[in-house]
Amino acid sequence: MFDDIRPYRNDEVTAVIQKLINEPALQASIAGIKLPLTYKIFPSLAKLIVKVYFKSRLRKFKCIDDIQKEVAKYLYHLIDTSCSHFSYNGISKIDPNKPSLFISNHRDIVMDVALVNLALYQSGITTVEAAVGDNLLNQPWVSDLMRLNKSFIVKRSEKTKRAMLTASKQLSSYIHYTLSENQQNIWIAQREGRAKDGIDKTNSALISMLLLNKGKETSISEYLTQLNIIPVAISYEFDPCDQDKAKELAAKEATGEYQKSENEDFDSITRGLVGKKGHVHIEFCDPILGDFEDSKAIAQAIDEKIIANYKLYDSNQKAYELLKNTEIEPSDNPLYNRLQQLTNEQKKWLLTMYANPVLAKETLNT
């Protein structure tokens, strides 16, 4: 019933890894990153080197837990090199004996869920199965990699309304089944696509999808208890992709559209992983429980918790202040260097994405 979207199981790991080892496109992708000069001059040799390396490294992986432990090592390294400080709070609000549906704001394609997972892993809590849109899985080997690391597929590219509804019902059923029957934590972003403008707002359609599996005899309050939604506020001092986002937002404002380059998502993933982020904080909020009128009311409750628990940094406050000024002057403000090489419109958007969390908190408190 869920074979086309679920993560791989332990008994599938060996076969999938062998398939990945022999995947030319994956070999080429890694060789282009790790051995760029060799790959340019001797592409076959570079791919062979990658294949031999894969064999020596990946053959030790026999189950999903082996892969998760290796990912954790890589994450520790990433945090050491890209974050000046990583912190989390609110773990006590998570009942380790009751599976949770974590819904977070969405700023980075990979790091959001990776950091949530790391916080859980360090706290002895089961890591999540993570939702990933099929729009990011343009190659079968990318899908294989994600599904090996406890990701399930969200079908976003269905062509008809009927197909989209069928996919939504399947996803809703899968999430409830995974929580209730498999006793497995789940993570999903509060909206499709990153909040490039810094406005963290839950798409009520996401909540409507979650409620599709609710029986008519079950109240919203009862179903929310079963889902055990825990909002998560993820706060980055600096966004490694902020200039790219500013350019996209400025282009959309000027022309009404923006055309992604062929490898733009992959480049964003790479930059988000290795780029400097400064301080990063994760706050786990109280569960969303009680009686709500509809999906919009639930979405609003999630938004309020995420906004209230979002950690503001000096970068947010400085951007808020700078937006009030017509001229951006050099100062000790680390945002200044990020504004270089940008047009005035692009500068406005970069500052706006950092300032919007400040505005959101002000609005929430009024």
Tens digits of residue pLDDT in 65-88:
999 888 888 889 889 999 999 999
- How far is the first Cα of the chain from the last one, in angstroms, to the nearest whole number? 47
Q: pLDDT value at position 324? A: 80
pLDDT band, residue 331 (cuts 50/70/90): low
CB 345 within 8 A of CB 253: yes
Q: Which of 358, 221, 218 has its CA nearest to residue 290?
A: 221
Q: pLDDT value at position 238? A: 97
Q: Chain-wide mean pLDDT for the chain?
A: 92
Type of residue numbered 304: E
**Residue range 343-350: average pLDDT?**
94
pLDDT band, residue 257 (cuts 50/70/90): confident
Q: pLDDT value at position 208? A: 97
Q: pLDDT value at position 100? A: 98
pLDDT band, residue 194 (cuts 50/70/90): very high
Greatest mean pLDDT range, 18-22, 32-36, 54-58, 204-208 = 204-208
**Residue range 264-268: average pLDDT?**
81
The single-letter DSSP state of residue 200 is -
**Residue range 95-119: average pLDDT?**
95
* pLDDT higher than 60, residue 346: yes
Dump pLDDT digits (tens) for 15-45.
Answer: 999 999 999 988 988 888 789 899 999 999 9
The burial class, CB within 10 Å (0-12 / 13-18 / 19+), for 116 is: buried
- Residue 325 or residue 131, greater confidence: 131
Coil, strand or helix at 232:
strand
CB 64 within 8 A of CB 127: no
Dump pLDDT digits (tens) for 119-144.
Answer: 999 999 999 999 999 988 878 888 89
* pLDDT higher than 70, residue 332: no
* Euclidean distance between CA atoms 162 and 240, whole angstroms: 38
* Euclidean distance between CA atoms 299 and 313, whole angstroms: 25
* pLDDT higher than 70, residue 327: no
| Beta carbons within 8 Å of 25's beta carbon, 6+ residues apart | 139, 141
* pLDDT higher than 70, residue 98: yes
CB 209 within 8 A of CB 171: yes
| Phi, then psi, of 305 in degrees rounded to 5 | -70, -40
Q: pLDDT value at position 139? A: 81
Q: What angle (nearest 5°) sits at the alpha carbon of residue 246, between those of residues 336 and 309?
A: 80
**Residue range 244-273: average pLDDT?**
88
| Beta carbons within 8 Å of 5's beta carbon, 6+ residues apart | 152, 153, 154, 155, 170, 171, 174
